[in-house]
Structure 1
Amino acid sequence: MKQTRPYPRAVVTRKAARALASGHPWVFEGEVLRLEPSPEDGRAAANGDVVDVFEENGTWQGAGLLSEQSKIRVRIVTRNANDRVDEAFWRRRAQWAWQHRRATMGARALPGCPPDTNACRVVFSEADGFPGLVVDRYENVLVTQVGTVGMDRLRPVVYRAVLDALAADGEKIDAVFERNDSPARAKEGLPLAKGWWDGLPAPDSPRVLVRENGLSFDLDVENSQKTGFFLDQKYNRRAVRELAAGRRVLDCFCHVGPFGLNAAAGGAELVRCVDVSQTAIDLAGENARLNGLDDRMAFTCANVLDYLPELARDRARLREEGGPFDLVVLDPPAFTKSRGTVSHAARGYREINYEALRLLPRGGYLATCSCSHFMTRDLLAKAVAEAAHQANVQLKQVEERQQAPDHPILWGFPESHYLDFFIFQVV
């Protein structure tokens, strides 16, 4: 590199350089050979700083954020040697992120509904070039999660960049709630906390009324899972809705009821929602009443792993719950969060799909998914195929889907692809 850049340097192994060249944005702890001071002013790298990444032969590989306590030691933010990672840089990134949501979701709303960007993920971490930052929009409130020390230091800059990108497009945001309560922050040496960001006035309540697919959801952004809702399934819920007319639907792992409500709105005869959390079941019931769909929806607090076999064994119990069902939705939490537990997770996915298939008649439909990066598309497909064989049924694929485009998949970074979704008919 001929130009002199102002950042300290991380010199990395050939293995790291090959991974970076393939598009992966991470350099791991053991791949950093040494840190060198800035050639411009002699400044040493501090935790969270921007560092230039060089292979040992002197080839520049990009610039990233240093995390001294993490196994992921550097996260690349640019591969353009002309970039200066300053406030203007993050403003450009925020504009690009919002423009992507406008382009991919702005015109996809159902008739008579607000644009799908009223509730969407505005920033998806590395996939948008903000490593460790998630920003979800729920109407006039943003909910953020910060998981890296570099992004934590940049919070005032990147929050303003996102707010200004939205404001420039006429989108008004009144408050930002920070959900920095993920245990993953401990790996970066960051404290756990949650609360309203002091850069904007704090509302009186963490409850937000959100519209999605023409339905209203009363969300608690402070206490619900993740940032309050699972936005990545927006269009998969719509796909279930399109199949639901006249059917009896079993919505497993229902959370606050979005799949079930979409099915009811699509004309389902009955929807039974099941979740192990009584809090989630209560919120799902409230959302059903909020949308005037409670006359066709029912709720059970139970462990789905026990509940499905119980229905298969006890036909009287099945009838009590509203069965027989001819559409089953399986939206389980991630059964694995590491490569080492994938085989155990595969058994779990196989078992729940087997139990669901036992309940479905010929001609019935199964919507099933995995939200774990480690449970790849092919592993999920294998688990479902084995479940079908065990249940002695054949499956006809209706659709194969993924996460919504506000959760973009960055090629070269397989960790950004984490949600796979299938719809099958039993034949």
Structure 2
Amino acid sequence: MARKSAQLPKKELRKWATVQVKKGQILLTEKDFVNPPQFTEGELVEIIGIDHEFLGYGYMAKQQKGVGWILTRDQNADTGLLDNLVFVQEKLQEAKNQRQSLLIDDTTTAFRIFNGEGDGIGGFTIDWYAGYALIQWYSEGIYRYRKIILEALNNVFPELKGIVGKNRFNLDGKADFPQSEILAGDIPETLTVQENGVNYVVRLDDGWMTGIFLDQRNVRNFIQSELAPGKTVLNMFSYTGAFSVAAALGGATETMSVDVAKRSQQLTEEQFQANGLEIGEQHKVRVMDVFNYLDFAKSHDLRFDIVILDPPSFSRTKKHTFQATKDYRSLVADALSILNRGGYLVSSTNAANMSREDFIKQIGEGSDDAHVDLVPVESFSLPADFPAPKGNPESDYLKVEIFQKA
């Protein structure tokens, strides 16, 4: 039964925010509101403009990005919204319909099936791993509606074998929520998925990350099919070596994977073995600070045909602190010093607070510092299964620029 007449608390936006919502903004921050918003986690609200005109229905929740999301701009919509199974199920079904080509692709069995605000409900995402679902909850407010979301998910994807949840809103440790929890089914300790025919071993219920970043699918494919044949490859901040595996299968003569995490050796070996490859003379792993390795490579006159840079937005080791918005320039300069002439620099960042223009500017400044000319080759952003609303540029976070050293 529709509840259009149900009265929801009204939250008034400032003039500039009113304009932005009309242009498609979905995410709301504290500064968007006339008064600092007071709310309970997950509270359903009516959003109004400075002149009290209706802007939409949404919900409030404290998260890293902001404090609320608009769910619909239809004034005649059922105001039950997230309490309404039909509303949630329709959003999930629409998302599934948009991913039919991936769901029937036997060579790719891991991808995103629901991308939060890009698919109509901000605050959580769902990834598909060969029949298993991984949900990431980004606020206590959206977590409040998990029973309805899980019911809708099972109705839309009856073939699901199991569901894992990651509670990413408990970063400060103030709330008593598990980091990871099994929500349905039996979850294997490890699972092998495919991406463009390449095997990757993932762990769905082991910490924040699974072993592969699904948003880099198109970049890995480009490296494998277009750049790697006959090349030597340095993969910095390599994690489990996914870029290295793609390059090796594409015909790279050598790969070097470098990451400071102690588990990177074991996890990278595992990924190579899943594809019939071995770590050894041709494919190597170094567990060390990336910046120390750059110094080591320069002092030992090591050179590579491809250097891949995919650092976290922020990281800190004993000797180095890296912040993408400030330090990418120097990282590029150091990397170019060990890149062969005619070689390729693959620069990537997931820093939502850095625009593509600023990212390219930092790369350009780094090349100037290294006294090197770069020729643009290719650009990548989020793949089609990671839709982002046009009104929220921070949701379109992935920026990958590939250059050739002149």
- Ranges in structure 2 where 5+ consecutive residues have no aligned partner: 316-321
Shift of residue 69, structure 1, vs aligned partner: 9.0
Match of 1:272 among 233, 242, 256: 256
Task: State yes or no: 1:252 paired with 2:236.
Answer: yes
Structure with greater proportional helix content: 1
Question: Residue 85 of structure 2: which of 72, 87, 90 is its match?
Answer: 87
Percent identity reads: 28
Alignment match, 2:120:
129
Cα contact 1:275–1:300 (8 A) shared by 2: yes
What's the offset of the Cα at 1:224? 4.6
C-alpha change, 1:224 and 1:247, in structure 2 (3 Å) is: farther
The equivalent residue for 2:298 is 312
Task: Give, in whole Å, the separation in 2 of the partners of 1:34 and 1:335.
Answer: 29
Contact 2:313 2:323 in 1 (8 A): no
**What CA distance in whole angstroms lies between the structure 2 residues aligned with 1:346 and 1:148?**
25
Match of 2:157 among 143, 158, 166: 166
Contact 1:149 1:190 in 2 (8 A): no
Tell me how many residue pairs correspond in the alignment: 389
Query: Does residue 1:354 correspond to 2:333, yes or no?
Result: yes
Amino acid across the alignment from 2:59: L
CA RMSD of aligned residues (A): 2.6
Contact 1:209 1:218 in 2 (8 A): yes
Asked if the contact 2:18/2:50 (under 8 Å) is kept, the reply is no
Kept in 2, the 8 Å contact 1:328–1:367? The answer is yes
Amino acid at match of 1:391: A
Alignment of 1:23-422 (within 5 A): 23-29=24-30, 31=33, 33=35, 47-67=41-61, 72-84=66-78, 85=81, 86-103=84-101, 105=102, 114-116=106-108, 118-167=109-158, 172-184=159-171, 191-197=177-183, 200-203=184-187, 205-242=188-225, 243-294=227-278, 296-315=282-301, 318=302, 324-335=303-314, 345-422=324-401
For 1:212 and 1:365, the matched residues in 2 are separated by: 23
- Cα pair distance change 1:26/1:32, threshold 3 Å: farther
Q: Distance in 2 between matches of 1:267 and 1:88?
A: 49
Paired residue for 1:9? 9
Give the TM-score normalised by the residue count of structure 1.
0.84
Distance, in Å, in 1 between the alignment partners of 2:310 and 2:286 is 16
TM superposition shift of 1:368: 1.0
Moved more, 345-354 or 402-411: 345-354
Residue pair 1:273, 1:300 contacting (<8 A) in 2 also:
yes
- Unaligned ranges ≥5, structure 1: 37-44, 319-323, 337-342
Distance 1:47 1:410 in 2: 23
Asked whether the equivalents of residues 11 and 56 of structure 1 are also in contact (C-alpha less than 8 Å), the reply is no
Q: Contact 1:48–1:67 at 8 Å: present in 2 too? A: yes
SS of match in other structure, 1:361: strand
CA contact (8 A) 2:342 2:404 kept: yes
